[in-house]
């Protein structure tokens, strides 16, 4: 009588390591195998996982740079593209994407690396809101507002995002950092149900903002500033919807509304701009509360509160950066802006004179 051979059982400590790897890499066997090949059964699991993820991210970033350079070189060497417009070459290149929720296939435009010289001056150059605008171009590309084609919109179900990685695409630029790549497969049905359930809300938003139904071409090269403002509103709505599954979407929702506010400011729609700023404040507050502590969120909360007329709230937020002692990642980048804003607020609140009087008063 023959006995059935059974696979050798791993000891409990190795099973625990496999459980941690499976959770960290979302069941990706290739990544688990790569980890075990490099680190073996080392009990120092978490730091090794972070190291491997960082190496993979750096490899993807390098590939992105190489692909972008290659695409730029191809376009530069193609006479038909180079001479296509007397005003210059298109600063965007086109990729084919698929909406993960309705399966619609359509083209999307992605801004070329180093095609535009971007500045950040929205509202006040001393402490700007972090919204890009083009001051000039490079390599013969024409100058174009980078917000016009910033948000990608599915023409069928109106799902929208400012991130290429929120759609399925063969482009290397989508990388492994997008929402779709990060989302565990088991969670996708719940996300799809949420996106499908809000489709009528997106259609209602479009109907409120526009008196015509945009064509697929309207969402691309014929996109007007008014349509771009709608695209950013749709993107913010979708990012906010997905924040339940990925907390980084809170920041993206606020960022999209900041871009919408900038477009509305350019169109002279100040009331709508103020509403967009107020809504973006709410999203950044959630990003701070539910996401990782982020210097950009804290800074933007302070600046937005200032432009909404709430100086004391603004000073509370920027005070977190001004008093930071190295605990908030990236705080140093915003310190000078916060110092400038703090001086303006102190003047508005009449605190500079009182500070000067306190300093000049004799000691008792």
Q: How many CB atoms lie within 10 A of CB 67?
A: 15
Q: Is the dihedral of CA 9, 10, 16, 19 positive or negative?
A: negative
128 pLDDT tier (thresholds 50, 70, 90): very high
pLDDT for 80 = 35
Can you tell me the mean pLDDT for 242-250?
89
Can you tell me the mean pLDDT for 98-108?
94
97 pLDDT tier (thresholds 50, 70, 90): very high
Per the model's pLDDT, the better-predicted residue between 206 and 349 turns out to be 206
- The string of pLDDT tens digits covering residues 134-163 is 989 888 899 999 999 999 999 999 999 999
Place of tokens 């989302």: 183
Place of tokens 């993979």: 56
- Can you give the residue ranges of every domain in the chain? 13-84, 86-291
pLDDT for 267 = 95
DSSP assignment letter at 89 = B
How far is CA 46 from its chain centroid?
Answer: 26
- What are the b/e assignments for 273-283, b being 16+ CB within 10 Å? bbebbebbbbb
Place of tokens 């500079």: 352
pLDDT for 349 = 84
pLDDT for 29 = 78
DSSP assignment letter at 218 = T
pLDDT > 60? residue 353:
no
77 pLDDT tier (thresholds 50, 70, 90): very low
23 pLDDT tier (thresholds 50, 70, 90): confident
Task: Show the 3-state SS of 79-118.
Answer: HHHHCCCCCCECCEEEEEEECCCCCCEEEEEEECCCCEEE
* Cβ–Cβ under 8 Å, residues 40 and 32: no
- What are the b/e assignments for 16-53, b being 16+ CB within 10 Å? ebeeebeebbeeeeebbeebeeebeeeeebeebbeebe
pLDDT for 177 = 62
* Cβ–Cβ under 8 Å, residues 320 and 355: no
Q: How many CB atoms lie within 10 A of CB 122?
A: 20
Name which of 126-140, 165-179, 319-333 the model is least confident about: 165-179
């Amino acid at each position: 009588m023959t006995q059935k051979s059974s696979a050798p059982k791993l000891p409990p400590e190795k099973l625990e390591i496999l459980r941690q790897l499976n959770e960290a890499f979302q069941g990706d066997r290739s990544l688990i195998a790569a980890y075990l090949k490099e680190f073996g059964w080392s009990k120092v699991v978490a730091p090794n996982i972070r190291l491997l993820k960082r190496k993979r991210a750096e490899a993807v970033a390098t590939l992105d740079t190489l692909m972008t350079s290659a695409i730029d070189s191809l376009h530069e060497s193609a006479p038909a593209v180079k001479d296509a417009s007397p005003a210059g070459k298109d600063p965007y290149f086109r990729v084919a994407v698929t909406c993960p929720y309705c399966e619609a296939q359509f083209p999307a435009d992605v801004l070329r690396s180093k095609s535009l010289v971007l500045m950040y001056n929205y509202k006040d150059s001393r402490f700007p809101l972090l919204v890009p605008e083009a001051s000039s171009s490079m390599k013969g590309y024409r100058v174009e507002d980078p917000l016009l084609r910033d948000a990608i919109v599915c023409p069928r179900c109106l799902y929208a995002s400012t991130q290429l990685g929120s759609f399925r695409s063969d482009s290397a630029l989508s990388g492994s950092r997008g929402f779709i790549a990060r989302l565990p497969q088991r969670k996708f049905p719940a996300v799809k149900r949420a996106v499908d359930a809000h489709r009528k809300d997106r259609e209602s938003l479009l109907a409120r903002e526009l008196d015509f139904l945009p064509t697929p071409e309207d969402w691309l090269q014929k996109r007007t500033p008014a349509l771009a403002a709608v695209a950013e509103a749709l993107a913010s709505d979708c990012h906010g919807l997905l924040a339940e599954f990925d907390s980084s979407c809170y920041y993206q929702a606020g960022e999209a509304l900041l871009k919408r506010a900038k477009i509305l400011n350019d169109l002279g729609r100040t009331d709508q701009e103020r509403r967009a700023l107020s809504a973006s404040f709410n999203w950044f507050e959630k990003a701070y509360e539910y996401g990782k502590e982020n210097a950009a969120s804290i800074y933007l909360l302070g600046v937005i509160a200032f432009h909404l007329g709430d100086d004391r709230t603004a000073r509370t937020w920027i005070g977190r950066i001004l008093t930071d002692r190295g605990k908030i990642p990236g705080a140093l980048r915003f310190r000078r802006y916060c110092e400038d804003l703090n001086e303006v607020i102190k003047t508005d609140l009449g605190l500079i004179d009182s500070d000067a009087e306190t300093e000049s008063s004799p000691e008792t």
